[in-house]
Structure formats: C-alpha cells, structure tokens
Amino acid sequence: MNQLPAPPGAHLWRWTRDPLALLRDGAAAGPVFRLRLWRPAVVGYRPDWNRAVLGDLDTFRSARSLSGLTPYLAAGVVAADVPGHTARRDALNPHFHRRALLPHEDRLAAVVLPPDGPFEALSWAAGAVRRMLNAALFGDRCDPALLAAFLTPLDRPLPWPLLPRPRLFRRMDAAIAAVLARPPAGSLAAAVAGLPDAAAELRVALAAGYDTTAHTLAWALWHLAGAPRWRAEELLPAVTDEILRLYPAGWIGSRRAVRASVVAGVPVPAGTLVLYSPLLTHRDPDQWPEPDAFRPERFADGRPAWSYLPFSAGRRTCLGAHLARLMLRVALRPFCTGDLRAAAGDPAPAAGITLRPAGPLTLEYRPRRARPARPADPLAAAAPPR
C-alpha cells in the first residue's frame, strides 16, 4: 500500500481542517490513494472500486469504521454487519419501500408549511424535515421540542455530532417507547412496533434522515431559484437526482477490511480502513461530463450503476432512500409555483458529519395567490331582465 500515491501534507491535520480539499488532492494523484490518518486508510472512487468494496459485505465490514464514531448511528441496522444485518434489513425493507410510503404523502404535505417572504433555506428546511419525520415515523406524536433538542447537534460543526449525550438519548428513547406502546395507525412506528429493537431502529432512522435531507432540500431550493425552468412538479425527480449527485450527504463512506484482499488491482491488508467517496465519484469528469454544473437533464437515461451513490449502493443501500426522496418531492412541490429568488448565500459544500452548504442561503418566496373574483356590478345586478 505504500506504493500508492498520496496527497501532500500532514493528512490527519488536513482531515480535521478541510477533508474535502484533502480528498480532491488525493484524487488528483490517482484513482486510488492512501491516507495517513489515525490508522492507515486507502481511498478509491471509480466504479470498479465502489463495486468491490460495497458488494463484498463479508470482507468489508461496517464495525470499527467511521460510522461508529457518532452515537447517532451506532445502533440498529446501520451498525449491524452480516449475518445480523441481513435479517434486520429483510424485516425493515417492506415498510420503507416506495409503495409502502406513498400513503404518507398527504400527511407530509400537511406539515411542510412553505414560507412567505424572505427565509434562510437551511433553517426552514431543518424545521420542515423535522415535522415530516415526526409525521412519518411517529404520527406527529413526538414532542417537537424534544425532537429539536435531539437533532440540533447534527446541525453543529464537528465534534458536536460525535459527542455522547446519554441523558438526551434516554429521553428520546423513552419518548419513542411511549409512541410504540400505542403507535398511531399508519405511522412507521406502527409498522415496526413488533420488530426487535424497534425503538433503536426508529431513533437511527430519525437521525439518519434529518440533516441529510434538510441540507439536500436547502440546496435544491437554491438551484431552483437560479434555474426557474426546472420548477415543474414533473421535473422534480431529475432535479433531486442532480442535487444528490452534486452534494451527496454521505460525502465519505467507510469499511474495515477484515482480511487481506485485492480491490481494483490494489492489495489491501487486513485491518485497513477502506474508504469510498460519493463526492469524488460524482465529481469525476470521466464519469460525469461537466461534473460541477447543475444539469438535471443528464438523468434522462437513468442512473448509472456504481457511479451514482447518494444513498450508498448494494445490499447496504440506505434504508431511508425512498422516504428521503418522498420528503424532498413533497417539500419542493409548493415552490413549483409562485416567485422564488435567491438573495445571498454560499452554496459551496463543506464537510461535517454530512455534507452541508458552507454558508447561509437566503431566499425569498412569494406564493401565487388566487386573484379575487371581480365584484359584480351593482348597477347591472339591479337592472331588470330584458
């Protein structure tokens, strides 16, 4: 592995300061490169690398990789490896399938609450996603103040999302347990109530679906404000695909090699931290022409396998992918009419536990209002019929 190219500088220091710049420098050195972090790591981003790492769950395990660094993802199906992962996933899959989620659409739409006037997209999106997750997961039965307190650390820069908060987690678990004891009909809590560790699965689903979706929603609004021709409901799937390509929330993914292997022709020793980067894959000009441009039309022919990883890929594809897409479509739909304009902001991606805009995104939205009916002419109304 020492023969692999590496970006310049002190890698661990650069990782803590600006990991995206470190990754870009590594990608410029080659399609597979090494990093000297707190343990040896190797990064690849081409489709053959993604297929090998994400397709072999026996060799490349989630345990003791980056996802375990945050307590928000250290439970449930996200933290499980094979064979336990397979059983958990099979039990949860039917309830998070696209068709199973369609009945939630009206409930989600009722809590979106579009703005009227100037608004900051990140703050508005965070509130809208919290309300939609409460509606879908808990049937609006969870205390909004507790949800905000539990999820707010995910809005903060590192290391806030990595710090343990046992008291807050106990409060959240108790609230979820209360919902599971009498789950509202039609909620995802009702669907999973009989499954093992249902409370942990719902807590992880809540955390995993929050900042990822909120940041994507904010970016989508920013780009729709600058490209009004894409503000049509039938075009939202392509817009969503392109936003997820430009700004994959999971900008880095990780596995730990439990045995020596060869990946895309590169020997990988046992114990190596094996990284893949959807951000590098999605910005690779060999896979995506004009990779930095907002071009939703590029998805007219579908999504290419192993070159498009906004929700990872393979058997560990994000369980909440369909729920995230549904929330995005429902939240963006009101903005297809009315007047949406960008005022100021910095949409450049910045790395935290997920990818987020570097700065606030200030927009203005004026919904289209129905014109009042013209009042009847009182003289005409008073005239006798002819």
DSSP line for 263-298: ETTEEE-TT-EEEE-HHHHHT-TTTSSSTTS--GGG
* Spatial distance between the Cα atoms of 351 and 19, rounded to a whole number of angstroms: 7
Asked if CATH classification 3.30.413.10 holds for the domain at 11-145+211-370, the reply, yes or no, is no
Q: Indicate the residue type of 264.
A: A
Report the pLDDT value the prediction gives residue 386, as an integer from 0 to 100: 42
The single-letter code of the amino acid at 138 is F
Adjacent-strand bridge partners of 341? 364
- With helix as H, strand as E and coil as C, how does 159-186 read? CHHHCCCHHHHHHHHHHHHHHHHCCCCC
Report the candidate in 92, 189, 91 with the shortest Cα–Cα distance to residue 134.
Answer: 189
Q: Domain ranges in the chain?
A: 11-145+211-370
- Whose CA is closest to 348, among 340, 360, 337, 357? 357
- The answer on pLDDT for 262 being more than 90 is yes
Beta strands in 169-297 (DSSP E): 253-257, 261-263, 266-268, 273-276
Phi, psi of 149 (to 5 degrees): -65, -40
Question: Considering the chain, what is the average pLDDT of its residues?
Answer: 94
In the prediction, which pLDDT does 375 show? Answer: 53
Q: What pLDDT sits at residue 373?
A: 55
Reduced to 3 states (helix: H, G, I; strand: E, B; else coil), residue 348 is coil
Q: Over 90: is that where the pLDDT of 64 sits? A: no
Query: Per residue in 157-208, pLDDT tens?
Result: 989 999 999 999 999 999 999 999 999 999 999 999 999 999 999 999 999 9
Residue 365 tokens read as 């939205």
pLDDT at 371: 59
Separation CA 135–CA 129 (nearest Å): 10
The pTM (predicted TM-score) of the whole model is 0.94
* Residue 142 annotated as lining a ligand binding site: no
- Is the pLDDT assigned to residue 125 strictly greater than 90? yes
Chain mean position to CA 62: 19
Residue 370 has pLDDT above 90, yes or no: no
